[in-house]
Structure 1
């Protein structure tokens, strides 16, 4: 990884207010495996950007290229307005990252691991090292376990410690690869809250996940990957806007309701206790409601739920998605 060219112009801000921008980014491994295929990605400044896709879709390979850890086969990537991997020495001091889980010294305590990480950073001020380590441990909820050896940490605790390492210094960009991996529900909530807090302070957060619910809860923007290719990207609120939501009928007569909905042209009718859901028919829903009442169905609730990110993914790819992890 060499120094960046002297002819590369200085840029105080990324062009077009994009913190990450790729064009045709491609990675083909030996043997012909195409891990990332012509990726055009734009991450707006000050966003919480969800990088979404099933395991094996190319997310981690993309992140490794963005961070200068591996060379792309073709295409370009710019991070904080500078070309990667050429400008790694200029860019990386402004980036905190947790990729594929943290590399830890098992024989050292959590606190000593962070002290070692910080000492290896030539931009870190040794005079404030212990105070910054203590603050990072507190921020991820590891103060009580700071003196415990890392080899005794659970997977979730190791994830927290890796995140603390990424937070030792103020960062313009935080890159997190599956940050809630191994965490219990309470830990997931705490990490999501921390991500929101960091974003409110002006840090752009690039968060890779295969959990649709995680992206929908915390991200402002998202991109969807599948089999190494970009399916779509944009504001989270817009990704599902073009997808029709599910028609939901609440009734003590679910069997009759399902029959009438099918007669009215509804598809994918699913009955669960007193709730019937379906893809809405292409007709006035008031007529559908009237047909239910005319057939003697006691309708206690009738409406269309907003389409979710999962609905959008299925509509775009025709595939299911691992929503539970």
Structure 2
């Protein structure tokens, strides 16, 4: 396993500029937001348009899921928000400051785990965190070891703190990266695939930690390819595709805006499918056993049920299942989900 290269010295960021528009004069949604982008655009050399006019608003105190298929521009967006790359045009504000210009004021209040943790394999987990903490000019060296011990305990790595990082599994490395982001109290936590490589128990523990952080007032901004995970832990969500924002808002509203599936339970599946088609239902699927599901037709469902009964179909169940976040995602993007965008 190769050791990570020593990072290059970052350029000295400029002093933050005062906002041209006072916060009190901005829309209420922006004034209470932790992240705001307006027409944020990134075009790479060669003409590739990675992010196209992104208008994103992340409410304070939310757990915000950032979703999109492969190549949607999520990682590019996150890197712009963290000041790692500059936008081609548009603007971004994080914690009330413009980025990347205001990075000096923003970054001490932000914990981040982006594209996997950068670790020194020859150092122990504890020593990796001690080095991270020592690089923070705001960190009090007198309480360094206490902070490191607390962070290791919080992510479940206290027992493995003395092992070298190169012996860690992928999930353990992910936990260690998360511990590094939690060394100091953070107003904002930015997580890229926080449960990558974790077993089901580890995933539950990280979800619980995210909820705990949010309840303490930390805004959590995370991307994940596990839509069920996003649905369990996130309060808000944004969906991107091909560099553009398709939708954003509370998770419950996004799922509610997508039509659910009509499910008929009957031993007469072939007849039920025929009647549903006659009634205008779409995308009819007959599952093994006694289940037929379809897109509900644009008509009173009581009439559909009555038509099934008139046709002699023995209806044992008739209901519309609530749409999931995955249903909403597929309806918006027209494709399956892959987070590596």
Q: TM-score range by the shorter chain?
A: over 0.9
Query: How far apart are the structure 2 equivalents of 1:182 and 1:202?
Result: 27
SS at match of 1:75: strand
Query: How far apart are the structure 2 equivalents of 1:31 and 1:209?
Result: 29
SS at match of 2:213: helix
Alignment partner of 2:309 out of 252, 276, 293? 293
Hey, what does 2:15 align to over in structure 1?
4
Hey, what does 2:102 align to over in structure 1?
87
Summarize the Cα distance change of 1:250–1:17 in structure 2 as closer, same or farther, 3 Å threshold: same
Q: Equivalent residues in 2 for 1:60-79 (5 A)?
A: 60-79=75-94
Query: How far apart are the structure 2 equivalents of 1:163 and 1:254?
Result: 50
Summarize the Cα distance change of 1:322–1:6 in structure 2 as closer, same or farther, 3 Å threshold: closer
SS at match of 2:319: strand
SS at match of 1:41: strand
Hey, what does 1:321 align to over in structure 2?
337
Does residue 188 (structure 1) correspond to residue 203 (structure 2)? The answer is yes
Hey, what does 2:123 align to over in structure 1?
108
Render the CA deviation track for 1:237-270: whole Å, top value 9, x for unaligned.
1112222111011222222221221121110011
Render the CA deviation track for 1:36-56: whole Å, top value 9, x for unaligned.
111110000000001011132
1:11 CA displacement? 7.3
SS at match of 1:93: helix
SS at match of 1:276: strand
Once structures 1 and 2 are overlaid, which stretch shifts more, 270-279 or 196-205? 270-279
Render the CA deviation track for 1:82-135: whole Å, top value 9, x for unaligned.
000111111111000000000000000111101110011011111211111111
C-alpha contact (below 8 Å) 1:14/1:80 kept by paired residues: no
Does residue 262 (structure 1) correspond to residue 305 (structure 2)? The answer is no
1:315 CA displacement? 2.4
Question: TM-score, normalising length from structure 2?
Answer: 0.90
C-alpha contact (below 8 Å) 1:20/1:79 kept by paired residues: yes
How many residue pairs are counted as aligned between the two chains?
A: 323
Hey, what does 1:219 align to over in structure 2?
234
Structure 2, gaps ≥5 residues long:
1-11
Hey, what does 1:302 align to over in structure 2?
318
Query: How far apart are the structure 2 equivalents of 1:281 and 1:248?
Result: 12
Query: How far apart are the structure 2 equivalents of 1:185 and 1:169?
Result: 27
Once structures 1 and 2 are overlaid, which stretch shifts more, 1-10 or 62-71? 1-10
Question: TM-score, normalising length from structure 1?
Answer: 0.94
Hey, what does 1:32 align to over in structure 2?
47
Render the CA deviation track for 1:167-220: whole Å, top value 9, x for unaligned.
011100000011111112222111111111110111000011232222111111
Hey, what does 2:165 align to over in structure 1?
150
Once structures 1 and 2 are overlaid, which stretch shifts more, 162-171 or 259-268? 259-268
C-alpha contact (below 8 Å) 2:70/2:337 kept by paired residues: no
Query: How far apart are the structure 2 equivalents of 1:320 and 1:241?
Result: 20
Does residue 200 (structure 1) correspond to residue 179 (structure 2)? The answer is no
Query: How far apart are the structure 2 equivalents of 1:262 and 1:15?
Result: 47
SS at match of 1:40: strand
Runs of 4+ residues over 3 Å off in structure 1: 5-15
Alignment partner of 1:45 out of 33, 50, 60? 60
Summarize the Cα distance change of 1:185–1:6 in structure 2 as closer, same or farther, 3 Å threshold: closer
Query: How far apart are the structure 2 equivalents of 1:249 and 1:15?
Result: 45
C-alpha contact (below 8 Å) 2:63/2:220 kept by paired residues: yes
Render the CA deviation track for 1:267-293: whole Å, top value 9, x for unaligned.
001111222110001111111111222
